[in-house]
Structure 1
Amino acid sequence: MWRIAIIDDERQVLQGMKRAIPWEEIDAEWVGEALNGEDGLELIRTAGPDIVITDIYMPVMNGLDMIEQLRKDGYNGKIIILSGYSDFEHARQALRHNVSDYVSKPISVPTLKSILDKVIQELMEEEEKRIKQDELQQKLMMYEPFIEKEWVKSAVAGTLDSSYKSGNRLPQPYRFWSETEHVVIGIDLIRDVRASELSLSDWNLFRFAISNIVSELAHEAFPGAEYTELHSTRAVLLIHPEAGSSKQLLEKKLGDLGIRLIDCIKRYLKLVIHVGIGSIKEQWTEIPDSTEEAFRAIDLRDRRVVPAYDAYAYSEAMRQDQGTIVMRPAKFYFELAGAMKASQEALAQQLVTEYIDQLKKQSGIAPDYVQMLAGELWGIFAYCLYEVGMVLDDICPNDQIAKEMVGLTKPEELAEWLRAKISVICSSRQWKGNSKHRQAVDFMTQYIHEHYADEMTLADLADKVYISRNHLSIIFKNMTGETFNTYLTRVRIEKARELLLERNMLVYEVAERVGYKNVPYFSTLFKKFTGMNPTELIK
């Protein structure tokens, strides 16, 4: 309901206006009146009407002075001047103060209603615009954590816009980067038999579990550590040791963390990872160099942190080691994976061309190195497309791919082979979803992982990603292989299993912690997903 105040020094006019305005018809209400500009100013400040109807010539303070003060105060409501004098100068001043209309007395009821209808229509349009702006702001706030994570991922992979580096600009949450040193720990999940047999939904859960384990262990040793996935089986930990830390002690601390990561992921998830530790960098703009070094250490497997563990530390000697390619494969892999997930064929082809052109400039490219690259890139294709619900083996059987790779001996042959496969994949009818849908599902899975204990429905998340509930249900099932409710339950049960193994809480406490108030129902679900009762797990 719109609120209207009337300011006029003639009581007869005030009463006549109150009777003439069709309040119910225009969905408005009277909120007060005043006989001069000074009282009117106080009334408007107190009542905050949407519309003010005022005279100009009034005692104590005239209408124009009152309007000028209101605008200085920040009042943005609509103002209609109803004056007994047709004065051009007054009209000009009124326009300067953003007055909606200037009308001479007397005024007919139809004219008054027409003016009010016009002003109310303006208010409705402004309100609609404000609501849209609020929704946009809420959406930006909702996505802000994910935008920040993408920024960190780009900073690690070396894909940030050049303006960040040239201006040394850092977003507010990362200003501390300019005061610390930096080192990257690369994590490579080995595609062994167990990892290869994971379903899409299991793969998403294991990614979540790996993230939790790595982040928890890292924060014990380095509180400011940041974990981010790059693509397929590769992720990184970005460590920010304090500047001036003992290099020897820091290297030992990083090595110990790498060993703990390998042990814990093998113990709790039965998965194998290799760890690489890049060199320490003083400037945050050098972080991508540490990323490249971390994964180069894994690839060369030369300098183990300790015997019997696949944790490797980078050394400067590796830079010239036996024709090692001094390039940025981590950045290339990251960008290519993103292009394939979004089915951006032209971009993927361009990235391959640029990379192979750089590769051809290097000397001593052995056939086994070319074949190794082919295997790495095919693995990236397989896993990143798996994440969007596409099984690559259905398009290109593994047996066929293995035979083709054996015949690749030169960079030019690798380029031709990759281009052909990219075209086949991107034109395949099996491609499911687009980048917008992928972003929506990524947001949903991340939201579930962070808010699993809260009550939530598919309708709630549909409102957050601006997609209809029924459509979102189909998209989510296509890209994860599970319904929304099943996925949510699996995340909750996985977290419950972790809490129970810690043996710090009773079963009913764990149930409540993961979002279940009904303990028998929780126990039933737990057995369904894990094959045992909660009490059996903690015996």
Structure 2
Amino acid sequence: MSKQRYTMVVIDDIRTVVNGISRDMDWESQGIEIAGTASSGEEGLALVRATRPDIIVTDIRMPKLSGIEMMRELQPQLPRSKFIFISGFSDFDHAQNALRLGAFDYILKPFTPQQLAETVRKAAAEMDAERRQSELLSDMEQKLRESRPLLRQEYLSMLVHFHAPKETLRKRWEFLQIEVDLQPLAVIVLEIDRFMQKTEDVPVNEAELLRFALQNIVEETMLNMAKGIVFRDSVHRFVAIVNPVCAGGALAIAEACRENVGRYSRSTVSAGVSAAVDDLSELPSAYRQAVEALTYTFYTGGNSVFFWEHIRQRQETMPRLDTELEKELVYALRSGNAEHAEKALALLLDDAGRGEKRPSPDSAKALCVELAALIRDAVPELTDEHELCELTRALSSPRAVLSELRATLLSLCRLSCLQVQSRLQSSAQEMIQAAIRHIRDNLHLNLMVGDYAAHVHLSTSYFSNLFKKVTGTSVVAFVIQEKMEQAKLLLTEDRPIAEIAESLGYEERSYFSDVFKKTTGLTPTEFRAKYGRKPGQA
């Protein structure tokens, strides 16, 4: 017998039958509890309504209210209860009709207790099966309720990326109980600004908490304005499918979401908004529109909303670099003039984005890459590989914004100019050192500044300026200083002053003496007397 316990009532206008069934049979051992008995259809109807039993054993023919009439009255209220009819042979047709009307079974008089017990056992077994089925269905429904959010997430993600037959989409939409009207529809793609930078060193639970909080703000904002549903599209991106029927449509909803995220959190979001569509099958197209609109955050750096309809109306013209400004940039780079190079670069960027139509983000990025190549070509000796890798990464990043690329190009300009300045400085040092060697090798000649400049293949003025920049003194002063140092050495020896003067390129001794005294504060004779060799010294 069933392990479940069930209640049963017995209804018959013959009291001995009622007593025999209810008192003389061992129902307790079979898990059956007698909830009551009745001797007429009317009493039975009241009894059943009061006790709501699982099993109803009733005579099919009773005065005033038959068993079948009673069943018809009670079935809507007790659809799971099992009716077992007791029927005489003459009522066989009525019993067959009862089965058609929904009775569980019938037994014909006369019957044995075993026959009735077996029929009741079968009814209990069927109720066991029904209960198990009901529990299984209930469990499945519970699991479905629990998994429905995930199923919605997966379905909606597929819905905006792939096409499917309209009827299939509609049935799935209804099955998942998505409370959004099927038309009109618009897609809003929202992206957390600089999410990767914010969460780079943040524990995963904090990053998830941030995403959860922002999604809640977006959902509450949207649902206060229109029907819609929000789901995650990537680690830093949400998608909202909305009915754009409020004032201002989906664009107003996106703006409100942006404002509330900024107001109630420490983050900001940017959004791209599609045009309205009239069918679920058009959502992939709307999603692409919203993503395209979102790319225009490239110009703002974040915390902004772009509408595809506004972008679509633009007739894009490919940006072109001004030839004269290009030349100016190249000249400034090759001369190492960072100030002029940065100014020319800024003018090029401003000029390319000037006008009524801004180029698409992809075109603007291509222009930045072109400018980076121009800078590299102008200064091919640029060798700082770490800096170059960082700059290349910034230029190629899909999340790069114009302000970052502008800063990257300016950094590349400065790096290039520093490289050129370093090279020029090294070259200048080498040329001046060559000139100094030439000066020291030719102290005996009365050479001019132009002669020294010619030796290192520079103009006189450029050489003079470069010499002073490198050494801190003028060419003439340096030559005089070198000659006077050589004169000091020669004066310590026992050589005639006139001869010393001539060996240093001075034609007149008196002029040499004047220069020497002006430089050292002593005449050649006084210097020799003070520092020269004394008689008897080796």
Instruction: Give the number of the structure whose alpha-carbon radius of gyration is greater.
Output: 2
Given the two structures, how large is their TM-score scaled by the length of structure 1?
0.48
